[in-house]
């Protein structure tokens, strides 16, 4: 079962004691969730208007490229747009500060990817099974191959009405892999180049990305698996922050509204124990290199 371990950190940029740092990296790499119940991301008074589902229009999420400031998916006027960008870039910076203090070992390897704002209520949303994050899955995205790099995500529940964000957590990555790998065939020869040529992928979809995407899809598509696999529920309170490797941790978000999320990529070699990476686990189980 996935562990949720709590750290008392109450500020985004404050040194974390050595014992907590050692615990943190171990929990993350073993596929646990690191929870900061006292770490609240402050929404400024002028930003309160942004806490409305209309801000994201049809796309449900707004995404920011923190290095260029480009915003996607929002449907607000220019004044609100600037406030939205401010709030999201503040979260991008704060999450970076937090990681520097909690897992300094990752600092040189971390690559900051998209920031997202999620103002839509999850419960009752209609999507295809493949896009349905209320079903247990490990993260893998068709157009963004990581080529083995890890996906580390920082979440903050900024719900102004005190509502929780409700997750489910499933079995370990190794158990997921052992269960589904036998029925997954390898990538079709030449498909990586074809996907790239057609610009379906932003970079080459390696064999690793192929297997991860298949795991993601098979997990979500298997209703019996969804109902029968060992799982636990956890409701993240409003005003808290958490982080986890979502490419490794079987997770589902079943309810909740108003969250901020920051994605990071991390090379496997930046880990304290690279043998815990999905890449290494899949390579061991399949007996071959995947990138």
Q: Which two tokens stand for residue 280?
A: 């290494």
Residue list 157-176, contact with ligand SIN (CB under 6 A): 165
Task: For residue 119, give the nearest of 55, 24, 201, 43 by alpha carbon.
Answer: 55
Residue 198 in 3-state DSSP? coil
In terms of CB distance, is 159 or 246 closer to ligand SIN? 246
Considering the complex, what minimum distance in angstroms separates the CB of residue 267 from Fe ion?
A: 21
Binding of ligand SIN at residue 71 (CB under 6 A)? no
Measured from the CB atom, the residue of 96 and 216 that comes closer to Fe ion is 216
Query: How many chain residues interact with ligand SIN (CB under 6 A)?
Result: 9
Classify residue 69 as exposed, middle or buried by CB count within 10 Å of its CB (0-12, 13-18, 19+): exposed
Q: Does 118 bind ligand SIN (CB under 6 A)?
A: yes
Q: Does 263 participate in binding ligand SIN (rule CB under 6 A)?
A: no
- Among ligand SIN, Fe ion, none, partner that 118 touches (CB below 5 to 8 angstroms by kind): ligand SIN
The CB-of-104 to Fe ion minimum distance in angstroms stands at 26
The interface region with ligand SIN, picked from 14-22, 35-43, 80-88, 245-253 by CB under 6 A, is 245-253
Residue 285's CB is within 10 A of a number of other CB atoms, namely: 14
SS (H, E, C) 12-48: CCCCCCHHHHHHHHHHHHCCCEEEECCCCCCCCHHHH
DSSP H helical ranges for the chain:
18-29, 78-102, 173-180, 191-197, 207-221, 223-228, 278-286
Which CB, 40 or 139, lies closer to Fe ion?
139
Q: How far is the CB of 31 from ligand SIN (least distance, A)?
A: 15
Question: Is 217 near ligand SIN (CB under 6 A)?
Answer: no
25 binds, among ligand SIN, Fe ion, none (CB under 5 to 8 A by kind): none
With H, G, I as helix, E, B as strand and everything else as coil, classify residue 71: strand
Under the binding rule (CB under 6 A), the answer on residue 151 touching ligand SIN is no
133 vs 235, beta carbon nearer ligand SIN: 133
| Contact residues for Fe ion, defined by CB under 5 A | 139
Beta strand pairing status for 4-6 and 62-65?
unpaired
Partner touching 259 among Fe ion, ligand SIN, none, CB below 5 to 8 Å by kind: ligand SIN
Report if residue 133 touches ligand SIN, rule: CB under 6 A. Answer: yes
* Binding span for ligand SIN by CB under 6 A among 82-90, 196-204, 223-231, 251-259: 251-259
> Is residue 253 close enough to count as binding ligand SIN by CB under 6 A?
yes
Task: Specify which residues 261 forms β-bridges with.
Answer: 116, 155
Q: How far apart are the first and last CA of the chain?
A: 29
Angle at 40 between CA 37 and CA 43, to 5 degrees: 155
Q: Which residue from 44, 6, 48 is spatially nearest to 161, judged by alpha carbons? A: 48
Q: Are 209 and 282 in contact (CB under 8 A)?
A: no
Whole-number minimum distance, CB 214 to ligand SIN, in Å? 17
Q: Residue 64's Cα: distance from chain center in Å?
A: 15
Residues that bind ligand SIN (CB under 6 A): 118, 133, 139, 155, 165, 246, 251, 253, 259
């Amino acid at each position: 079962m996935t562990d949720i371990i709590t750290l008392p950190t109450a500020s985004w940029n404050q040194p974390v004691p050595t014992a907590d740092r050692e615990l943190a990296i171990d929990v993350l790499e073993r596929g646990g969730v690191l929870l900061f119940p006292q770490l609240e991301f402050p929404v400024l008074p002028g930003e309160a208007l942004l806490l409305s589902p209309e801000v994201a229009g049809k796309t449900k999420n707004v995404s920011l490229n923190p290095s260029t400031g480009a915003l996607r998916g929002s449907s607000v006027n220019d004044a609100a747009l600037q406030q939205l960008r401010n709030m999201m870039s503040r979260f991008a910076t704060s999450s970076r500060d937090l990681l520097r203090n909690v897992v300094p070992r990752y600092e040189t390897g971390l690559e900051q990817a998209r920031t997202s704002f999620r103002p839509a209520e999850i419960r009752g949303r209609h999507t295809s099974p493949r896009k349905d994050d209320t079903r247990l899955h490990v993260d893998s995205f068709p157009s963004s191959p990581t080529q083995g790099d890890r996906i580390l995500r920082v979440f903050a529940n900024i719900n102004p009405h005190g509502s929780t964000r409700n997750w489910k957590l499933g079995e370990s990555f190794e158990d997921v892999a052992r269960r589904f790998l036998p029925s997954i065939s390898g990538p079709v020869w030449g498909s990586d180049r074809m996907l790239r040529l057609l610009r379906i992928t932003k970079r080459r979809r390696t064999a690793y990305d192929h297997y991860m995407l298949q795991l993601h899809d098979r997990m979500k598509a298997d209703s019996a698996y969804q109902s029968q696999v060992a799982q636990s529920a956890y409701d993240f309170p409003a005003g808290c922050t958490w982080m986890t490797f979502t490419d490794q941790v079987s997770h589902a978000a079943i309810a909740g509204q108003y969250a901020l999320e920051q994605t990071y990529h991390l090379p496997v070699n930046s880990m304290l124990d690279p043998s815990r990476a999905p890449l290494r686990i899949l390579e061991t189980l399949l007996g071959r290199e995947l990138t």
